[in-house]
Structure formats: C-alpha cells, structure tokens
Structure 1
Amino acid sequence: MSSVRDFYDALAADYHLIFPDWDASMARQALALDAVVRARLGAGPHQVLDCSCGIGTQAIGLAGAGHRVVGSDLSPAAAARAAAESAARRVGFPTAAADMRALPFRTSVFDLVVCADNSLPHLLTADDLRTALSGMRRVLREDGLLLLSVRDYDAIRAARPASAPPQVATTGQGRVVTFQLWHWHEDGERYDLEHFQLVPDGDGWEVRVRRTAYWALTRGELTDAVLDAGFTDVGWREPEDCGFYQPVLTARRGRP
C-alpha cells in the first residue's frame, strides 16, 4: 500500500484546504458522530481508536467531545500532524503511524474503532479488507462498536462519474481550488483518482497533483465483509438521518 501512504504523506500539509473551514467541519462531524456513538454505547466517555485518523478531522472532534482518543494512520506525516493539531486545540492525544491491516495495539482495549472518511475503500482486495476488519475487531472490547463511513457507492457505481465537484477554500494568499478526476477500471468497481489542488502563486497557480486508488464498495458488499469478519448487529445511518456527510455503518464486536 505504499502508493496510498505516498498520497497522504504528500497531502498532509494541504489536507485542511479541502474544507472551506476545517475547524467548522470538524465540529459538525464530531456532533454527528458523537450522537451515533452515544446512541449505541451510552454517554461515555469512551476509549476510541481512529485507525485512519489522517490529520485529525474526526479524531480531534471526538476528543473535544470528551472521548479518550488514540489515532493511527498509514501516513507518518498525517499522524504527526494530527498529534500537533490536537495539541494546539488543547485536546492532545497520542498517534502512531500504522497500517490498518496490522494495528499495533493490544487485544480488547477500545470501546470504539472509527475508520471514517472513505478510508477503508483504499483496500483493493477481499483479503486485505478481511484482514483489516478482523484486526479492528481484535482490538475492540466485547460488545465494542465499529464505526465506518464511506462514499455512497451504491449510487456512484450506477453512475460511474468521471469527476467530483470542486471545493474552494479561502486562505491568506487567496482561494485554493480542489477537485478530483476518477478513472474507472474495467471491472466497474475500482477506480484511480487524481487529486488536484490549484494554489495561488503570484499572478498564476501552482498545480499540485496526487494519485491513489479506491474500491467502490456498495452497502451490501461492505455489510457482508463486516459480518464475515465476525461482527454482529450491523446497521446503516444515512446522512439525512444522522447529519454526517457520508453513510455510516455501525456493528458490534459481539462475543469472542
């Protein structure tokens, strides 16, 4: 998965520019996710692993909501930034550079494992998906909660779009434009993504391009994979119901 690590290492310093207002997005997402967690696990606070924490978009918000958070990410640059950004906001938490297929944590230590923001679909094979989900289950306590979020791939697979809408962030140097081009594989399930950022540079633009790949897993496919990994009580929450910007899957670890 070195290409995924390279993608996020290169993007780590600029990731916040995907959002018009990163702090406002963190607060909104935390409000929605915390409500889902409290509905399933109770008020807490809970011991949380965000195993695809990136620069901290979900983890910082959950720490601010009072949960005891640990962050890990395949990208060392992203994990280091998450630690720095959380400390700057006085909700500091430990982070580690770790592949979600080989989580370096003891068995049965977390109440909640989060893998949000369309991170799991970077795994392109059924074996890698099974390995990652089994590892997430291993580090959860009995009856602990798994929380995943992915793009709405049921709709996306039907349409197979060639791009995603542009996003604009305003900085002290001017506006930054972010957009994506998608190149679908012949199987109709996987696609290569080109991630473009246009950054003001004098009278012109600096163009930053990063590339990665995804597996467009439908709700049914992801539900089956979660059940096959030994989870129970799988359910979906839609954006219009829970307020999070992507569909959210929750599942219980269940008994060993």
Structure 2
Amino acid sequence: MTPNKTVVFQPDERQDYGDDPTAVRESDKYVSEYIRGFVDKWDELIDWKSRAESEGRFFIDVLKARGKHSVLDVAAGTGFHSIQLAKAGFDVTSADGSAEMLAKAFDNGREHGVVLKTVHADWRKLNKDVHGKFDAIICLGNSFTHLFDEHDRRRALAEFYAALKHDGILIIDQRNYDGILDNGFSTKHKYYYCGDQVTAEPVHVDEGLARFEYTFPDGSKHNLNMFPLRKNYVRDLLREAGFQKLHSYGDFMEEGEESDPDFFVHLAEKEYDR
C-alpha cells in the first residue's frame, strides 16, 4: 500500500468522535478507540526490539531489587511488558480494559513462547475480576491518562492498593504533560515509542484534554484522547491513596538527571519506613 493511497475502513474499524472530537472527555472512550485496525498497528509504534534496548532491565531490576515475584500488569496492551517480565521469571497476570488489546497480547505471547494469563478488567472494579494479592502492580504506557474523571482515578488507585500485598509496590508512568502544557510538545522518541516510521503528535492540548494523532506508513491515522496529568498531581493522588514512599524517575533516570524527560515513572510503595 502506498503512503498516499486512500485507506478504507470497515464500519467496526472506524473511530467515531462525533462532530467535535475535542468535546469527548470520557474515561470509557478508550475502549472504542482501540479498534482492531489500530491495535494491529500498535506494535509498529512501539517497535519491541528498540523499546527493549532503550529501557533495558529497568523494570526487571526494580522488581528484583525489592524481592517481588507476582506481578499484575493492569494495562497490558499488546503485552510487551507482560512478556518481558514473564521471560525474566516473574509470575505475571495481564489485565486490560480493551478486549482487542488482550487478544493481541495473548497472540504476541505465543509468538514469544509465553502463555499469558489474561483478564479483561476495568480498573475501577479491578478486584471483582482479578483475585488474589500481588507483590507488584505495573500500569505503564501512559495508560492512566485514559481516566478523565478524578473520581475514576481515585477509585482505580484504591483498587490497585487493595490488590497489593502489605509490602507491595505500584509502578505507574505518564507522559511529561507539564512540559507539553507549559512549553509545547517535543519528543525525543528515545524510550517509549521507538517506531521510526510512525508519528505520534498532539492535535489539541488544553488543561483537560491531550488529543494525540498517530500516523502510520500506510497513511492511516488513529487518535487517542487523554487527560494531561501533571506530575505533582499524580504524586499527590498516590499519597492520598495510601502509598507511603514515592520515587519518581525521568526517562528511567534519577530525578534531576534528565531535565526534560518525555515520560515520568513513579514508584509507589505501601510499606511504611521502618
């Protein structure tokens, strides 16, 4: 397919935002955004090989250093981190609110010799669908920003907290929306979205919406509406959810080492300082 060829979508493969796309600010919209055509292209955006090289053993080392074994990946997506951790010896359960993403993750797991334990779950009712307690929960890929309502964010964090053992940890990441809101968008595409043939850029940004457009080599375009969470707001939410110790990284480096990171990674621990 040539880049300038018109792409025709089937009725179930078309994103629908109505007449005013920037007016759509709903937590549940993500389910219909991850249509089959978008999900099938998602790994082109990530580029698994480049992503693995860029982040290295960061999450593996963080979990192993704290003696964690059972991991719940609540935003499994197409399975990149679930599979990386499973291959590293962790006991992984993969959850996602998008059935399309979970199906793709399971297929990706089989291709990598891993049989994923998958659960279709809404974070706001996580413990209804996911049973047991975990050493760690990971919520990666900027996924938490799909929640537009503050009540939904607080409910989700309360569910994460409840699903963790007494000394469990939560690892949650987000785009550097502070930089986007205050200084405009720029990205090094160095760590998260490593596919060099795909562009991911905001087409609208305000304090309540970051609408990103993803353009693929075949000329197709897909969109995601996300809430631009500021870093300190997320840290405050984590504290108010009951997490006792917080540590934030910028593009996998210690805070302050990277002056303008693309992403922040927050490590939140339940356990009190002894």
Q: Do the two structures share a fold, i.e. TM-score over 0.5?
A: yes
Matching of residue 35 in structure 1 with residue 58 in structure 2: no
Matching of residue 15 in structure 1 with residue 16 in structure 2: no
Which structure 2 residues correspond to residues 1-256 of structure 1 after superposition, within 5 A? 1-10=27-36, 11-19=38-46, 21-26=47-52, 28-29=54-55, 31-39=57-65, 41-42=66-67, 44=68, 46-103=69-126, 104-107=129-132, 109-161=133-185, 169=195, 176-185=197-206, 188-199=207-218, 207-239=219-251, 241=253, 246-254=263-271
Distance 2:169 2:51 in 1: 23
Distance 1:27 1:129, change over 3 A: same
The AA in structure 2 aligned to 1:32 is F
Shift of 1:99: 1.7
Distance 1:237 1:181 in 2: 23
Whether the 8 Å CA contact 2:167–2:269 is kept in 1: the answer is: yes
Distance 2:194 2:238 in 1: 35
| Aligned pairs, number | 235
Whether the 8 Å CA contact 2:58–2:252 is kept in 1: the answer is: no
For residues 161-204 of structure 1, the C-alpha deviation after alignment (integer angstroms, 9 at most, x for no partner) is: 3x76787858xxxxx4333233023xx342222222231xxxxx
Whether the 8 Å CA contact 1:194–1:211 is kept in 2: the answer is: yes
Q: Give the SS at the match of 2:77.
A: coil
Whether the 8 Å CA contact 1:49–1:112 is kept in 2: the answer is: yes
Whether the 8 Å CA contact 2:204–2:210 is kept in 1: the answer is: yes
Whether the 8 Å CA contact 2:176–2:262 is kept in 1: the answer is: no
Distance 2:54 2:194 in 1: 18
Distance 1:153 1:181 in 2: 11
Partner of 1:202: none
| Aligned-residue identity in percent | 25
List runs of 5+ in structure 2 lacking aligned partners. 1-26
TM-score when scaled to structure 2?
0.77
Whether the 8 Å CA contact 2:168–2:271 is kept in 1: the answer is: yes
Whether the 8 Å CA contact 2:50–2:194 is kept in 1: the answer is: no
Whether the 8 Å CA contact 2:102–2:120 is kept in 1: the answer is: yes
For residues 16-66 of structure 1, the C-alpha deviation after alignment (integer angstroms, 9 at most, x for no partner) is: 1113x4234236536111122223x22x4x110000010012111111111
The AA in structure 2 aligned to 1:213 is N
Distance 1:76 1:230 in 2: 30
Distance 2:194 2:220 in 1: 15
Distance 1:27 1:89 in 2: 17
Point out the structure with the larger strand share. 1
Partner of 1:203: none
Distance 1:177 1:194, change over 3 A: closer
Distance 1:227 1:168 in 2: 32
Distance 1:77 1:124 in 2: 21
List runs of 5+ in structure 1 lacking aligned partners. 171-175, 200-206
Partner of 2:8: none
Whether the 8 Å CA contact 1:26–1:60 is kept in 2: the answer is: no
Distance 1:105 1:8, change over 3 A: same
Shift of 1:8: 1.9
